[in-house]
Structure 1
Amino acid sequence: MKLSNFQKKVLRKIGFYIADIAVNILLKTCKIKIHKREIINDLILRKQNFIVAFWHGYMMIGWYLHRNLNCAALVSRSKDGELLAHVLKKWGYKVIRGSSHIGGNEAMENIVELLKQKNNLVITPDGPTGPIYKMKAGAVVAAKKTQVPLILTGICSNKKINLKSWDKFEIPLPFSKINVLYSEPIYISNTLTYDETSRLIQDCENKLNNLQEDVRKLCLS
């Protein structure tokens, strides 16, 4: 059944009111195991802010895990982005609107400013439109400009639904087991050349894909 524009507006309005509540209820039923949690905890204890990056398809869990941790988030200016921005604000995020396609330069300036003010950043480096599992420059460039460590994050649910979207968006089923795996902090020199930075972006992409494969194995064990 094809929805009318009015029906879409009604559903979006309902989503504004119940999305964060629904996700909270769902994920509270799940058993979440965080591997290498001490990496984030140590940075927090040292009052060192950080950038967390995970693939777009796992953002439901990724955003939830880092709520109320003095985090900023980059969200597209699309209508779907409006709903996500609303949820993230409920979770204590400072929301920056923009993407690599629209408002990218302004968004990067805002990201750098917030990082310099000791906020953390949570970002989906293949968002908002893909291609899937291909890292765009934002996370690495922000870490390079601010000397804030980058933490790559693999996420997996043992029981889930994957939507037929470009990012294969993952929704964990109630009472599923979720594994989260952090990388070691990646510190990026601000003296890197353009070519060196491009190679590092590719290296981080490979590391995040390997991390995602490692966490999938943890889900099966």
Structure 2
Amino acid sequence: MFGYHLAVWLAAAFIELIWRTARVKVVDGDRLVALIQEHGAVVPTFWHQHLLICSRYLVGTGVEGFKPGFMISPSVDGQAPTMLAELYGAHVVRGSGSYTGVRAVRGVHHAIVKRGISSGITPDGPRGPRFVLKPGAIFTAQITGKPLVPIAYAAKPARLLGTWDKFVLVPPFAKIRIAIGEPYFPPKRMQEAEMQAAQREVERRLLMTFQKARAAL
């Protein structure tokens, strides 16, 4: 357990070094403000490769009424990220992007609907395939009645690591642009073909959000 604590504190120190030295600007941040004012909570959704900066943004948005949270894998791989999220004061629901667990579904519904927590989801996590959206984020928006909000960022300089997700590593003093995409409101009920179409639509919105962030660099 000591090893986990040490890794979490080192990770937090590294994240803060990047965040506090970076030149960060948010594109369409007023969109998130308006959605929180109207709906109380949202379902922030971003690719696994954008996990580092998007998560740090969510725990420090400064948006009034925004309560950050995260859906994190229940496997042992999710232990350190859970501890890191809790270090930042975020609520954690243990479950996967596929949302097959009843406990996870109940947990995320309670967090979002009852407590007003905006639970961030990486829809291609925890192990990919990269940029292939699993239905969990859409299902969450369905059962909670909250909008799914695509988030992406671009940075200069940046490096893609040789991991399955091509994780984006940003050095200190980088230029970072975070974009808030067009929200998606799924219908309450969908057939399988409709769900697949919805997944492709959210993938498209995530891509458009990234393109917006990149254009702002």
Match of 2:117 in 1: 119
Match of 2:170 in 1: 172
Match of 2:14 in 1: 22
| SS at 2:111 equivalent | helix
- The answer as to 2:44 corresponding to 1:52 is yes
- Contact 2:27-2:213 within 8 A present in 1 as well: no
Match of 2:153 in 1: 155
Q: In 2, distance between residues paired with 1:16 and 1:48? A: 30
Q: What do the CA deviations read for 1:68-125 (whole angstroms, capped 9, x no partner)?
A: 5412211113333211111101112111122157963321221122111122111111
Matched to 1:85, the amino acid is: T
- The answer as to 2:32 corresponding to 1:32 is no
Q: In 1, distance between residues paired with 2:99 and 2:150? A: 25
The structural deviation recorded for 1:135 is: 0.4
Gap runs ≥5 in structure 1: 1-8
Match of 2:76 in 1: 79
Q: In 2, distance between residues paired with 1:23 and 1:42? A: 28
| SS at 1:154 equivalent | strand
Gap runs ≥5 in structure 2: 61-65
Q: In 2, distance between residues paired with 1:176 and 1:111? A: 34
5 Å-filtered alignment, 1:197-208, equals 197-208=195-206
Larger of the two Rg values belongs to structure: 1
Match of 2:35 in 1: 43
Match of 2:105 in 1: 108
Q: In 1, distance between residues paired with 2:2 and 2:68? A: 30
Question: Matched residue pairs, number?
Answer: 211
| SS at 1:155 equivalent | strand
Q: In 1, distance between residues paired with 2:36 and 2:88? A: 18
- Contact 1:133-1:209 within 8 A present in 2 as well: no
| SS at 2:216 equivalent | helix
- Contact 1:70-1:92 within 8 A present in 2 as well: no
Match of 1:70 in 2: 67
Q: In 2, distance between residues paired with 1:214 and 1:119? A: 26
The structural deviation recorded for 1:64 is: 0.4
Q: In 2, distance between residues paired with 1:52 and 1:121? A: 6
Q: Could you tell me the TM-score, scaled by structure 2's length?
A: 0.88
- What RMSD over aligned residues (CA atoms) do the two structures have, in Å? 2.1
The structural deviation recorded for 1:13 is: 4.5
Q: In 2, distance between residues paired with 1:92 and 1:10? A: 20
- Contact 1:77-1:102 within 8 A present in 2 as well: no
The structural deviation recorded for 1:29 is: 0.3
- Contact 1:155-1:178 within 8 A present in 2 as well: yes
Q: In 2, distance between residues paired with 1:53 and 1:153? A: 6
Match of 1:3 in 2: none
Q: In 1, distance between residues paired with 2:198 and 2:99? A: 24
Q: In 1, distance between residues paired with 2:196 and 2:181? A: 20
